A and B are shown apart, each in its own frame.
Chain A
């Protein structure tokens, strides 16, 4: 059983993700998108990067590549799927998750640490955290502003499908703590079923104490279950 970290041309967090999972004792391997998913796949990560050079829209091309049909089938069969950063953009473009991640309010690429508040601690991704817990994770994106129409956002919130919101160090969700103008400060959401999730911040970059923190560990441990 292995976690497939799907590599597109332009992915650049793929190796970090394999390293992070391996450091947590989770078997993981790089899977080139043209090769299809391994038969014994136990989980799927769509990693960060700039697949297809962000042509057309970030994630638009990768979302329509053949391997995404395999990802969709695996997700339908219950395999956990996590999209991180460009993987989150791909997940939304592929309609695995609702909404879209588009140009930051600043119209700039932003690379910084942010705080996230755990909104729903009853999902495979967040059950090792407490509801309301504040995490510190890095972001690195130019198109991370979560956009969705108001009615669908209301429905998402009513169904408890918002995983994380940007907040300040005390856990307060404020406009100042929202780094990219995301609607309702949404940083991550689940699909219709909660074993499919996407987020813009990078949990794989905070899994080793030696290089900046461990707040992302508990999220990635979902793949150990």
Chain B
């Protein structure tokens, strides 16, 4: 078994309104920043032991499918890295 950290990034699908991001963008503009747009995402870092990077990715993908993301409104990415213990 090898130690991995799987990172799951969950974001709203393109076209789904993100009122919090819009409010954040407006607040940045009030502070004098110039920006064209802003998207926010949730990032989950999951430490796990797995036989291979592929196994770790599979497990993290199932976590995203079953809980971390809501497929109605979200897309997600999974990346896996070996972790030094």
Q: Is A64 an interface residue (CB 8 A)?
A: yes
Residue of B nearest to A92 (CB): B72
Query: How many angstroms between the C-alpha atoms of A149 and B16 in the bound complex?
Result: 9
State whether B67 touches A104 (Cβ < 8 A). no
Name A's interface SS: loop
Q: In the assembled complex, how far is the CB of residue B76 from the closest CB belonging to chain A, in whole angstroms?
A: 13
- By a CB distance below 8 angstroms, the chain B residues around A103 are 18-20
Q: How large is the interface on B (under 10, 10 to 19, 20 to 34, 35 or more residues)?
A: 10 to 19
Q: Is A93 an interface residue (CB 8 A)?
A: yes
Q: Is A117 an interface residue (CB 8 A)?
A: no
- By a CB distance below 8 angstroms, the chain B residues around A104 are 19
Q: Which 6 A-B pairs have the closest CB atoms?
A: A107-B19, A100-B72, A107-B23, A103-B19, A100-B73, A147-B73
Q: Is A130 an interface residue (CB 8 A)?
A: no
Q: Is A15 an interface residue (CB 8 A)?
A: no
Q: Is B17 an interface residue (CB 8 A)?
A: yes
Query: How many angstroms between the C-alpha atoms of A192 and B19 in the bound complex?
Result: 30
State whether B73 touches A56 (Cβ < 8 A). no
Q: Is B22 an interface residue (CB 8 A)?
A: yes
- Which residues of chain B from 13 to 41 have any CB-CB distance to chain A below 8 Å in the complex? 16-20, 22-23
Q: Is B68 an interface residue (CB 8 A)?
A: yes
Q: Is A42 an interface residue (CB 8 A)?
A: no
Query: How many angstroms between the C-alpha atoms of A100 and B66 in the bound complex?
Result: 15
State whether A105 touches B17 (Cβ < 8 A). yes
